[in-house]
Amino acid sequence: MFRQVFRMAENAAKRLKTSNGGSGVKIGTHNGHFHADEALAVYMLRLLPTYADSSLVRTRDPALLETCHTVVDVGGEYDASRNRYDHHQRTFTTTFPGRPTKLSSAGLVYMHFGKSIIAQHLSKSEDSDEVGVVWNKLYESFIEPLDAHDNGISSYDQKKLEEAGIEKAFSTGGFTLGAMVGRLNPNWNDPTPSDPVEAQAAEDERFLTASTRIGEEFSRDLDFYARSWLPARAIVQEAYKKRLQFDPEGRIMVFEGQSVPWKDHLYTLEEEEGESAKKVLYVLYPEKPVPDAKWRIQAVPVTKDSFQSRKALPEPWRGARDEQLDEVSGVPGGVFIHASGFIGGSKTFDGAKALAEKACAF
């Protein structure tokens, strides 16, 4: 009975075309349980003019897949010349340029179409430096984790963790981009239409919801890196060049107008300069781009997402505020120092700079 129902559902899938409202080219992917990689792959393709009015065919029938202009995550074939982007073959080992993680269908589509998507977003040519920088950054920050998730690749070497005796301090709830899409599949005991065509239509509707959901996150990241992160690069470069004006060893970097996303760019600049350069320990910036703004002093983290600072603000200052902070630091005009020592505030630039100088020497 189960096999009969399965065959009926598959036959229904072979007949069904899930449309996005247009009559353009066909994108093919598999039916059944869906994942983040093909959900995002379909979304990314539909950002481009060729696929803007595409229809979607969800099936495993080779004959139907053969009628599709582009096929992702099914078909057992990777051939960009034929727009075939599956990664399940035993012989498949393709990775993104300069990265070690085996690609999923999302990574494949991004590798081949990502520059076109970014160029369209930036109104730049695909071979421009700006497009290339965002293409690499967006892969590392957004696409690569999905490739790893779909291919069962852990972000840490489990054996090394066990050898070091490192255990999780608490559960993260298992919430990742992949899990977000996975949760949109039906539960095992959800009611399912008895008619195979209706059941497949309900499944496809869930897939489109998942594709839109993860696509919104992709577009949000794309917009951030294109409109905010990329323009910040020149500002960080200028602040990095001028850091010796504020500290002879270059340990203090100052944003004189306003703060921008600086961590990625700072690490890149330091890497380019080499091991001989002193690392930046503190970054100073005004809270607002106005003349009388208060100032912040922020300790540079060991890595972008680390809670550990290269040199946290001195322990005696932590948790102190206002007059108490002035007393323990010896610097007037203090506002606060966070209890963990990663950030603090002063009423003036001179006060923030004095705090940074004392912290460097502490």
What residue spans define the domains of the chain? 2-229, 242-361
Instruction: Specify the pLDDT at position 184.
Output: 93
Q: Residue 8 — pLDDT band, cuts 50, 70, 90?
A: very low
Helix (H/G/I), strand (E/B), else coil: 27: strand
Which amino acid appears at position 80 of this protein?
A: A
Helix (H/G/I), strand (E/B), else coil: 335: strand
Q: Percent of the chain at pLDDT above 90?
A: 78
d(C-alpha 258, C-alpha 252), whole Å: 16
Instruction: Specify the pLDDT at position 7.
Output: 40
Least confident range from 1-15, 25-39, 165-179, 339-353: namely: 1-15
The first and second tokens of residue 333, run together, are 């005009």
For all residues of the chain together, what is the average pLDDT? 90
d(C-alpha 257, C-alpha 219), whole Å: 28
Helix (H/G/I), strand (E/B), else coil: 191: coil
Q: Residue 23 — pLDDT band, cuts 50, 70, 90?
A: low
State which of 154-158, 255-259, 324-328 shows the largest mean pLDDT.
Answer: 324-328
Nearest to 22 by CA among 41, 46, 58: 46
Helix (H/G/I), strand (E/B), else coil: 63: helix
Q: Which residues contact 224 (CB under 8 A, 6 or more apart)?
A: none
Nearest to 350 by CA among 310, 294, 304: 294
Give tens-digit pLDDT for 298-316. Answer: 999 998 888 899 999 999 9
Give tens-digit pLDDT for 72-96. Answer: 999 999 999 999 999 999 999 999 9
Q: Considering just the CA atoms, what is the radius of gyration of the chain in Å? A: 26
Q: Percent of the chain at pLDDT above 70?
A: 93
Q: Which residues pair with 284 in a beta bridge?
A: 254, 297
pLDDT > 80? residue 5: no
Q: Which residues pair with 78 in a beta bridge?
A: 85
| Average pLDDT of the segment spanning 274-300 | 92
pLDDT > 50? residue 223: yes
pLDDT > 80? residue 268: yes
| Average pLDDT of the segment spanning 322-332 | 96
